[in-house]
C-alpha cells in the first residue's frame, strides 16, 4: 500500500464522521501507518450531507485531502450521487442497499452492497448501522486487519456500548466474508 484514499459519506446522524475517525485511528494507531482525517458537513449537521475523508499511507502524507477516491462508502442516495464520480475507475464502492439505489455501476468499479441499517435494527439499535458498515468495509476493503479496526472502534464508541458495537461490527464483517466466499465459489464453478 502506498496511498489509499477513503471517503465515508451519508447524512448527519448516521455516524459518518465517527466512522472516518475510526478508520484513521485503525491506520495510525493500530497498524502504524500514516493517516489524515478531514470532515465536511452540509449547512445543518443532522439530516444533511456529510462526509469523512481519510488518507492512509506507508509514507509521510504531504497532501492531507483526497485527490482521487480509492474506496467510497455511501450510506445515502445524495452521498452516492455526489461522490461516485470521484471514485477511481478501479475503485471500490460500498453502499447501504436499503438507502442507496444504483441503476448501473460504472465499468471497472468493484461494487458491493449491504443492508447495514436492517442488520443494525436486527441487533436492536439502528444507530449502529455505521459500525455494521465498518465491519463490511474491513471485510471487503482488505486495508486493515479486523483486530485493528475492532480496537479503534472500541476505543471510540461510548462506554457501555462496546458489546453492541462488537456485534454490529461482526454482523457487517461476516456479511462481507460470506459475500467473498460466494464469489470465490462462483468463480470456481465457472472455471
Residues 46-83 pLDDT 10s: 567 799 999 999 999 999 999 999 999 999 999 999 99
How do residues 163-181 score in pLDDT, each as one tens digit? 999 999 999 999 999 999 9
- CA diameter of the chain: 51
* Range list of β-strands (E), the chain: 3-11, 34-41, 49-57, 69-74, 87-96, 110-114
Cell numbers given for 74:
455511501
153/169 Cα distance (integer angstroms): 9
* Residue range 3-190 in CATH 3.40.50.300: no
Question: Phi, psi at residue 137, to the nearest 5°?
Answer: -55, -45
How do residues 77-134 score in pLDDT, each as one tens digit? 999 999 999 999 999 999 999 999 998 899 999 999 999 999 999 999 999 999 999 9
pTM above 0.85, yes or no: yes
Number of residues in the chain: 191
Angle between helices 16-25 and 129-141 (to 10 degrees): 40
Question: Phi, psi at residue 166, to the nearest 5°?
Answer: -65, -40
Amino acid at each position: 500500500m502506498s496511498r489509499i484514499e477513503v471517503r465515508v459519506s451519508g447524512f448527519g446522524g448516521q455516524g459518518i464522521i465517527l466512522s472516518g475517525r475510526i478508520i484513521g485511528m485503525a491506520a495510525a494507531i493500530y497498524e502504524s501507518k500514516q493517516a489524515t482525517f478531514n470532515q465536511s458537513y452540509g449547512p445543518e449537521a443532522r439530516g444533511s450531507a456529510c462526509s469523512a475523508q481519510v488518507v492512509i499511507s506507508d509514507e509521510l502524507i504531504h497532501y492531507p485531502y483526497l485527490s482521487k477516491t480509492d474506496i467510497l462508502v455511501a450510506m445515502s442516495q445524495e452521498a452516492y450521487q455526489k461522490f461516485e464520480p470521484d471514485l477511481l475507475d478501479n475503485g471500490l464502492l460500498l453502499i447501504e442497499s436499503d438507502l442507496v439505489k444504483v441503476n448501473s455501476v460504472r465499468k471497472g468499479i468493484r461494487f458491493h452492497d449491504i443492508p447495514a441499517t436492517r442488520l443494525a435494527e436486527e441487533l436492536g439499535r439502528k444507530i449502529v448501522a455505521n459500525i455494521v458498515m465498518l465491519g463490511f468495509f474491513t471485510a471487503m476493503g482488505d486495508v486493515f486487519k479486523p483486530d485493528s479496526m475492532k480496537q479503534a472502534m472500541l476505543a471510540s464508541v461510548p462506554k457501555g456500548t462496546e458489546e453492541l458495537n462488537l456485534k454490529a461490527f461482526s454482523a457487517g464483517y461476516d456479511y462481507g466474508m460470506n459475500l467473498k466466499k460466494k464469489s470465490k465459489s462462483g468463480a470456481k464453478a465457472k472455471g
